Amino acid sequence: MAGLAPPTQIISAVTATRPMVEALFDELRGATLDHPGVTRAPYGEGEAFAHAMLARKARALGYEVSHDLALNTYVTLPGRDRSAPVLMTGSHLDSVPHGGNYDGAAGVVAGLAALQALRALCPQPERDVTVMAIRAEESVWFQVSYVGSRGAFGILPPAALDSATRIDSGRSLASHMADQGADVAALREGRRHLDPARIASFVELHIEQAPSLLEAGRPIAVGTGIPGNFRYPDITISGEQAHVGLPRRFRRDAALAGADFATGMDRIWEEHEAAGIPMATTIGRFHTDAALHGMTSVPGRFLMSLDVRAYDEAVLAALERRVLTMVAEIESRRGVRFDLGARASAPVGPVAPLVRECLERQAIAHGLDWQPLGSPASHDAATFAAMGVPMGMVFVRNANGSHNPDEAMDIDDLMAGITILAGWMLESATASTAG
């Protein structure tokens, strides 16, 4: 950090942003409260408020504000060399239904605070520094991953615009985007706003979504990677609806087939965990057909979803082969049929070594208590990595998990994360852009 502001000055500049940070979270919570928790549906009222709030605050602070075809919001501190690749940070502003106030939003608020600290220390950095507020990250709504970030790069699958429907309205993604003013026609054509070659690096700060930091007693972590995934959101198992008195040898029980599948997936996870291979599998929906089920009926139809994630593409491919093999075995043994439905996937998000080293260097220089940590969840930063942009992540301790109203991030912990972000910005944005 030779030649840069000493850690004490960076900490002082970050500390000065705390009133703004707290006020933004209070305003966001107050406007999107939906007991229990908050709801900021993508391309809906709550998310739109959050983006408008950020734009209003950023303009009042004197930053450049712009939007892209998918309505992502960009807040920029102009640099001396505006042709140089830009330094970027940010996260999403949508939430799950009745979620917490910090999931996603913490990264956007932290980005703005870090930008304020950077400007206090260096009013005109060598390159542009931009905070990106991303649309529609929470795939629960449309069952499509990374809508906003993929839209920014022009890689959102055109078919998803019409086939993906929002869970609360039943209307298409294209319809909701158009209502908010997005350029749906341009997105269909694959037009892009972000050019990977024009981005120096991207760092996303996010609350931790598992209790690892809480368990370790540390406020922050530097990310080591983001898992990729494959998903089958709408699996249907078809058997035969039958009378409760039917002997076992005649049954085609769809519910028991579902149970076999669930326990099989858990065995696969247990095997990988014992071998030291990180992965996770989640069956989020798991139920008989409410229109047909009853205490004295053998279930002929069973519905569920599957999410499988891992940090290595080869591991993911092998896991999917095992899933398909297991499905065939259960079909044969139980006399049922699986319809896996539409498949979705997201690539593994590798962290760039140089970005990770810089983030770790900032944590050490500022005397922060930190640890390396692999993300248990998917994040928009993975889209940047997939496009070849050097990517890194910072995680902030958060009690009670996320995707629920009881998120319990401490502002003190967030300020530590903002300190890392500000230090990374100062080091990376003040380096010469020549050559």
Residues in the annotated binding site: 92, 103, 138, 206, 403
Q: Of 269, 265, 276, 195, give the one whose Cα is nearest residue 232.
A: 265
DSSP, res 97: T
Length of the chain: 435
Q: Return phi, psi of residue 84, to 5°.
A: -75, 150
Total H helices, total E strands in the chain: 14, 18
* 69, 161 contact by CB (below 8 A): no
Tokens describing residue 430: 């003040």
- Helix, strand, or coil (residue 131): strand
* 13, 121 contact by CB (below 8 A): yes
Q: Of 277, 303, 276, give the one whose Cα is nearest residue 288.
A: 303
CB atoms closer than 10 angstroms to residue 340: 15
Q: Of 180, 157, 152, 201, give the one whose Cα is nearest residue 42.
A: 180
* 57, 67 contact by CB (below 8 A): no
How far is it, in rounded angstroms, from Cα 299 to Cα 162?
Answer: 33
- Helix, strand, or coil (residue 67): strand
> Looking up tokens 């005649």, which residue turns up?
250
Q: Return phi, psi of residue 293, to 5°.
A: -75, 155
Q: What is the largest CA-CA distance in the chain?
A: 81
Distances in Å between the Cα of 201 and the Cα atoms of 93, 274, 351 are 21, 35, 11
How far is it, in rounded angstroms, from Cα 357 to Cα 140?
Answer: 33
* 318, 354 contact by CB (below 8 A): no
Task: Show binding-site residues for Zn(2+).
Answer: 92, 103, 138, 206, 403
How far is it, in rounded angstroms, from Cα 203 to Cα 188?
Answer: 28
- Helix, strand, or coil (residue 382): helix
